[in-house]
Structure 1
């Protein structure tokens, strides 16, 4: 199943519902997200599709995971082992078309193992972002540029990169082909329920 970061497909109304349920005003959430009240209102009404970083800021402000914000899927309890078929993967797709596929069945494991597919010209957004933990990526095909604290690293197939997630960073596909990478976050945050 494909989960779009599109306000038009229910994310906006879910944001509004969670905000009201928690007794928070538009202004309070906007301040926490460092975005305008007007933008947040437009997202809630389905008039604007939020960027990945804006959506992550909103989920943090509402104290819910990004996965919880964009999907209705319930996750089963942990087991000792698990085999997952490709069709069973939880998938998040940004409005720009970047796809994140969770490669582990249980999202409560202490790390996040994700297959990322980046169409040409796509990115995590114009703004640099940061979060807790460390991350490591392996580029399987295509090319990616990773900007970390203002320094740009160009990845080619077979290259790996490791970084402190607390460093301001951004990922971009400058190529004419899709880029495919395996990414591991030491502290789950894309699909996290924490």
Structure 2
């Protein structure tokens, strides 16, 4: 089923923030799709996102929800870190397994932002910090894909819903769940929330 236009715009999202040419989420999606020699129609079939919406996302006319962005990323076979905007390169003296605080790539979606903590090339384990403004959420519809997720609330509060259960989590609370279950989150508070977010890839043979 194709994703509707409304599903691409998260609550309280303003117009997309323009990144430098070639650095925006839309530009990276278009470049990855073209490199893979996949048409918009084929990507729509693989991701469940309509051709019209994919076109708008690639031209940065809309801010895709996390669910839509994840669907596109998975359809292109890209890692969770694929759309982050890189900062300065690591200092030569640092090994590849280190990422300094001032060198964290960011992903700005207007209604939410992420800081990538993982260092080096993509691994099976991705660490990031979600910055969730008051009143914002992951989108109108839940996400789901094969992975394991875990996290820790660093500041503020947010509501995490997994399948038919939900929990109001506050600073210091932690969680872990199967990402193949439908899940979503929202910040019901009056201040921004920061959540350490961990994504662990799951090998296909575990689900055969």
Taking structure 1 as the reference length, the TM-score comes to 0.78
Gaps of 5+ in 1: 1-5, 189-194
Taking structure 2 as the reference length, the TM-score comes to 0.73
Partner residue of 1:136? 150
The equivalences for 1:75-114 within 5 A come to 79=95, 82=98, 84-96=99-111, 98-114=112-128
Partner residue of 2:55? 41
2:82 is the counterpart of 1:68: yes
Distance 1:33 1:133 in 2: 17
Aligned match of 1:178 in 163, 174, 192?
Answer: 192
Question: What is the aligned-residue RMSD (CA, Å)?
Answer: 2.9
What SS is found at the alignment partner of 1:92?
strand
Once the 2 structures are TM-superposed, how far is the Cα of residue 186 of structure 1 from its aligned partner? 2.4
Once the 2 structures are TM-superposed, how far is the Cα of residue 73 of structure 1 from its aligned partner? 6.7
Partner residue of 1:53? 67
Once the 2 structures are TM-superposed, how far is the Cα of residue 25 of structure 1 from its aligned partner? 2.0
Alignment check: 8 A CA contact 1:148 1:168 kept: yes
The equivalences for 1:2-21 within 5 A come to 6=16, 8-9=18-19, 10-21=24-35
Aligned match of 1:147 in 149, 155, 161?
Answer: 161
Once the 2 structures are TM-superposed, how far is the Cα of residue 59 of structure 1 from its aligned partner? 1.8
Aligned residues: 182
Distance 1:118 1:105 in 2: 23
Alignment check: 8 A CA contact 1:139 1:157 kept: yes
Partner residue of 1:192? none
The equivalences for 1:146-165 within 5 A come to 146-165=160-179
Alignment check: 8 A CA contact 2:57 2:63 kept: yes
What SS is found at the alignment partner of 1:127?
coil
Distance 1:44 1:172 in 2: 26
Once the 2 structures are TM-superposed, how far is the Cα of residue 127 of structure 1 from its aligned partner? 1.3
Alignment check: 8 A CA contact 2:79 2:122 kept: no
